Structure 1
Amino acid sequence: MPNIKVIIPAFNEADSITHVINEIPDGVNEVIVVSNGSTDNTEVNAKQAGATVLTENRKGYGYACLKGITYISEQNIKPDIVVFLDGDYSDYPEELTKLIQPMTENNIDFVIGARVKRLREKGSMTRPQIFGNWLATTLMRFMFGSTFTDLGPFRAIKYDKLLALNMEDKTYGWTVEMQLKALKQNMTYTEIPVRYRNRIGVSKVSGTFKGAVMAGIKILGWIFKYGLKK
């Protein structure tokens, strides 16, 4: 087994975080929950479930992910693979083994868990989410020749490749930035179809009009920024 670390950004996910941690497969070396300014029992529940808990009070998905990466970079033994997983229980953590299989068997650098329609629970993705994913991945296909079909947050990447991306987005653009930079650096990548269910609680992004709009603007901004650099 490779050395695997899981980073879970979490903001007020007290009702779901224990389920997520408990269903991560055996063999993962460390589960890192980054509490993004949570005001409920997210941190307490994550610790009780056996995770390492970090706190990042600056609000933003990217801020939380960067906090986890910085923590890993300060450890003596570095992982082979870093997996990113949401804390809302919408993904199926046990599918992590399926996600890393292309990396361990075929030496792929980067794998996205694609939330395909046939495996999605009804209502698990909002119409703006579905349209936004379609628009973003269609633009990436025409502008960069990519084969991505989703911006799914459940993803795995080799640690050295993650560092090479020099990730910088602090908020909504984190996922698309990673994919665009992987394309720019000619990393090998693939998608694995994964199941997706209705999350526990209300989404802080897709569950609000402001969040959906801001995420859409940020994602399109990254795509056109890289498109103009070509």
Structure 2
Amino acid sequence: MRPASHTSDSAQPRAPQPSVAVVIPAFNEEDTVAEVVQVALTLTGDVVVASDGSADNTVGAAQKAGAKVVDLQPNGGKGPALKAALEATEADYVVMLDADLTGLTKAHLEKLLLPVLRGELDMSIGVFEGGGFVTDWGNKLTPHLSGQRACRRDWLLGVPQLGEERWPEPAITQHLKDTGARWDYVELPQVAQVVKEKKRGFWKGAKARTKMYFDLLTYGARKKRG
């Protein structure tokens, strides 16, 4: 009689680990994009920067830091840049980051990503806490407009008109509602953004900020007209 064979746990085939990419839309962010890329690379080797018609050295800085770069010309908006970055990777999951963040660490990225990987959320949305009054205040006033998110890549590519919206966050929020997705806010302590007024000068920055919020907050009305 032949002895029963036993298969050890170590011989059992392991389920493939989900792949993760970090995608970073960027417009004229040569001063900060390299630092964001370097932190992203501590989480995954698949980091994609989509330069949205940048006129400075964003492309060179991102490449030197180790990112794969998609150089889009001319400037078309964050939505087209985000879609291009998503199409430049085949990862299962993505962490979406702005290119002008300061104070970012690997722990922040893990805090965004892990609830999604564990199946607790379909999307996590990062909000700043303690990074500075201006960015904290703006982020908490309109947290649904945050650019720091984690989700499945295929879900994000399924957002209607993603590549047509200059600012894609309202379209993403609407898709969360339409699909009944599970989502929640995740605090990112000590993270901030370089405000537009500092990057471009006060008046140009204030003008750019006003136009951005106008575009973001009129998304619903434009969708109804469309």
Q: Same fold (TM over 0.5)?
A: yes
* CA distance in 2 between partners of 1:26 and 1:51 (Å): 12
Equivalent in the alignment of 1:144: none
Figure out how many residues of one structure are paired with residues of the other and give that number.
203
Runs of 4+ in 1 over 4 A off after TM superposition: none
Post-superposition offset of 1:207: 6.3
**Could you say which residue in structure 2 is the equivalent of 1:71?**
88
Aligned: 1:87 with 2:104? no
Deviation at 1:89, TM superposition (A): 2.5
User: Partner residue of 1:145?
Assistant: none
Deviation at 1:224, TM superposition (A): 4.1
CA distance in 2, matches of 1:212, 1:20: 22
Q: Deviation per CA, 1:46-94, whole angstroms, max 9, x where unpaired?
A: 112111011112321112112212323xxxxx31211111111236142
* 1:211 corresponds to: 208
| Preserved CA contact (<8 Å) 2:82 2:163 | no
Q: Aligned match of 1:122 in 133, 142, 157?
A: 133
Separation (CA, whole Å) in 1 of partners of 2:114 and 2:188: 13
After superposition, the Cα gap between the structure-2 partners of 1:221 and 1:91, relative to the gap in structure 1 and judged at 3 Å, is farther
Find the aligned partners of 1:15 and 1:219 in 2 and give their Cα distance. 25
Alignment of 1:99-138 (within 5 A): 99-116=112-129, 119-124=130-135, 129=138, 134=141
Larger Cα-atom Rg: 2
* Secondary structure class of the residue paired with 2:218: helix
Question: Relative to structure 1, is the Cα distance of residues 108 and 199 closer, same or farther in structure 2, using a 3 angstrom cutoff?
Answer: same
- The answer to which structure has the higher strand fraction is 2
Shift of 1:97: 0.6
2:73 aligned with 1:57, yes or no?
Answer: yes
Cα 1:224–1:90 change in 2 (3 A) is farther
Take 1:217 and 1:121, find their aligned partners in 2: how far apart are those partners? 23
Question: Does 1 or 2 have the higher relative contact order (CA < 8 Å, sep 6+)?
Answer: 1
In angstroms, what is the RMSD of aligned CA positions? Answer: 2.8
> What TM-score, normalized to structure 2?
0.77
Matched with 1:16 is 32
CA contact (8 A) 2:39 2:105 kept: yes
Is this contact kept in 1: 2:41–2:47, CA < 8 A? no
Match of 1:26 among 38, 42, 56: 42
Aligned residues with identical type, % of pairs: 24
Partner of 2:13: none
Paired with 2:157 and 2:193, the residues of 1 have a C-alpha distance of 32
Partner Cα separation in structure 1 for residue 38 and residue 21 of structure 2: 15
Query: Aligned match of 1:180 in 169, 174, 180?
Result: 174
What's 1:156 paired with?
150
CA distance in 2, matches of 1:185, 1:203: 38
3-state SS, counterpart of residue 194 of structure 1: strand
Q: Could you tell me how far apart the structure 2 residues matched to 1:212 and 1:6 are?
A: 25
Secondary structure at 2:125 match in 1: strand
